[in-house]
Structure 1
Amino acid sequence: MTYQDRGIKKWQGFFLSEHNEQMDQQQDSTKLKWRKTMSSECIESVLSTAITHQSTLVIQKKPLNDDAFPEPDVVGKIAGVEEELIYIRTATEVISVPLFSILNVEERTVEKWYK
């Protein structure tokens, strides 16, 4: 009776733990983190610059409670402003964001593909 080798199947146990470690590292790098709290003057300055240049914004909202995780960022351009609301046009919809709920806002710079 001859033994038939199963090929790569017998090595799958060795790859599993390394694969799990790699997946954990990828998840850690994609987790959302709280950014630094900006003052209202800094937020207004960034927003006015974005309106002038029609640039894309990345907005992180304040937490609803103390132990909350960060919500996904709102990324888009300013579509309009009405009293204490700012309307952001994302890729799929228009979202209203109250000014008091903004924790951090940044202008997104476009990197050139040919650099």
Structure 2
Amino acid sequence: MSDAYPNYDPRVRDQFIRNYRDRGMMKWGGFYLSDHTRVIEKKDKSRRANEKRRLQKQMDFQKISANLFNAFANEKEVSVQLAEENKDHYVAQTIVGFVQGYGDDGIVIAGQVIAFEDIWNCRIIN
């Protein structure tokens, strides 16, 4: 081996082996880069969003109509919770925005047409 590496000293190798301290998992920290962190952040964001959107108390149609009309007439923002939910009783979607108009088929909030029968809860925000 000394022919291929003329400056090779086996004592240096032995000293390195005796004194080398492995940093363990610290050296793998760099592998959690953009793709990994993006997936983790997306899961955390989804989990936090579901925690905030628990199903609220169902409102009767007259109260929902009164809130929507009041918000439309006074240009106030509303939070509308749809009647869809998953098995863990988390709401599928909450729409926040201004009432832009309404018709026979539903109401338009933030550019989305929502059928009246799909509304579970409606609150005036401001």
Tell me how large the CA RMSD over aligned residues is. Answer: 3.0
For structure 1, which runs of at least 5 residues remain unmatched after alignment? 13-22, 110-115
Verify: 1:108 aligned to 2:122, yes or no.
no
Q: Tell me which stretches of 4 or more aligned residues in structure 1 moved more than 2 Å.
A: 3-8, 66-69
For structure 2, which runs of at least 5 residues remain unmatched after alignment? 1-17, 30-42
Verify: 1:98 aligned to 2:115, yes or no.
yes
The residue number in structure 2 matching 1:30 is 49
Report 1:52-67 matches (<5 A): 52-63=73-84, 67=87
Structure with greater helix share of residues: 2
The residue number in structure 2 matching 1:41 is 62
Structure with greater strand share of residues: 1
The Cα of 1:5 is off from its aligned counterpart by 5.4
The Cα of 1:39 is off from its aligned counterpart by 0.7
Q: Larger relative contact order (C-alpha < 8 A, sep ≥ 6)?
A: 1
Q: TM-score scaled to structure 1, two decimals? A: 0.63
Q: Which has the larger radius of gyration?
A: 2
SS for the counterpart of 1:33 is: coil
Amino acid paired to 2:125:
R
Q: TM-score scaled to structure 2, two decimals? A: 0.58
The residue number in structure 2 matching 1:75 is 96
